[in-house]
Amino acid sequence: MKIIQHPLPFWEERPRAIDSLVLHCSAHNPEDMIKVLFAEKLSSHYIIGADGQVFQLVPEEKRAWHAGKSFWRGEESLNQRSIGIELSSPSMGQETYPAKQIQSLERLCKDILRRHPAIKAQNIVAHSDVAPTRKPDPGIAFPWQELAEKGIGLWYDLANATKIKETNVAVLLSEIGYDTSNLPAAAYAFCRHFAPKYVVRCDSISHLIENVYPADFVLPAEVLPILRAVVYSYRTY
């Protein structure tokens, strides 16, 4: 895979080993995204353009500044232990990602997983998963199931829903890894990842970014079996 090197200076030494992969998107093209990251003193390890071109901004062994305040599976600050990949998406992941872009993402993720076998499927997450009150990316059109079928992350088999007896939404979301201190945000982030038809499309990107979740959101009853099936996948992988 051809990777264009475009180093940014915004990184630190890692305080711990890599065990997570966080997937993002931005409405900017790669060149503009790099300019924005530089202006904001932020970074990601990689950017993938709509044409599939891959840019590396920070070495994998360094801590990039991509996830911000975050939480997953009982631990805070995902930057310490994760690799971050940004995808260019003018719709913020609300429209289908180009095939070339996803093909490049799949190749890059597989390379990363070969280099870092400590990254388990349960720790391949969306920015919205680890920061559900703040971030909507990589969005409702991101092909999580397609990637899981190729060994990148986890999906679910609805037939397994009955194998999980727990029905408390907060307990189930917490078992997957979500911070449930804001339950509407966590439940909406879950839907973004696993049940996107329950997430309302927003044509205004600025409104989407500023209104990440409905404050009164309650997980629909028909999504509970999906939630339980996902928990089964996370328990048994």
Task: Assign 157 a pLDDT band (cuts: 50, 70, 90).
Answer: very high
- Centre a 10 Å sphere on the Cβ of residue 180 and count the other Cβ atoms it contains: 19
Give the separation between CA 117 and CA 38, rounded to whole angstroms.
Answer: 31
Mean pLDDT of 179-199: 98
Q: How many domains does the chain have?
A: 1
Give the separation between CA 146 and CA 102, rounded to whole angstroms.
Answer: 10
Catalytic residue among 13, 61, 86, 166: 86
Mean pLDDT of 4-23: 97
- Host domain of residue 65: 3-236
CATH number for the domain spanning 191: value is 3.40.80.10
Mean pLDDT of 202-212: 96
**For residue 1, what pLDDT is reported?**
82
Q: Given the structure tokens 């029905």, which residue do they identify? A: 167
How does strand 54-56 pair with strand 3-5? parallel
Assigned token pair, 42: 């932020």
- Express each pLDDT in 66-110 by its tens digit: 999 999 999 999 999 999 999 999 999 999 999 999 999 999 999
- Express each pLDDT in 58-73 by its tens digit: 999 999 999 999 999 9
Spatial CB neighbours of 232, under 8 Å, sequence gap ≥ 6: 156, 157, 160, 161, 163, 164
Spatial CB neighbours of 182, under 8 Å, sequence gap ≥ 6: 132, 133
- Express each pLDDT in 23-37 by its tens digit: 999 999 999 999 999
pLDDT at 152 over 90: yes
Assigned token pair, 38: 């530089």
Assigned token pair, 102: 């996803």
Q: Greatest CA span in the chain, whole angstroms?
A: 50
Q: What is the DSSP string of 145-201?
A: HHHHHTTSS----GGGGGG-----HHHHHHHHT---SSHHHHHHHHHHHH-GGGS--
**For residue 227, what pLDDT is reported?**
98
- Centre a 10 Å sphere on the Cβ of residue 53 and count the other Cβ atoms it contains: 16
How does strand 62-64 pair with strand 71-72? unpaired
- Express each pLDDT in 116-138 by its tens digit: 999 999 999 999 999 999 999 99
- Which pTM does this prediction carry? 0.97
Give the residue from 143, 49, 55 showing the smallest Cα distance to 90: 49
Cis before 98 (ω within 30): no
Concerning whether 95 is annotated as a catalytic residue, the answer is no
- Express each pLDDT in 217-231 by its tens digit: 999 999 999 999 999
Q: What is the mean pLDDT of the chain?
A: 98
pLDDT at 38 over 90: yes
Mean pLDDT of 42-49: 98
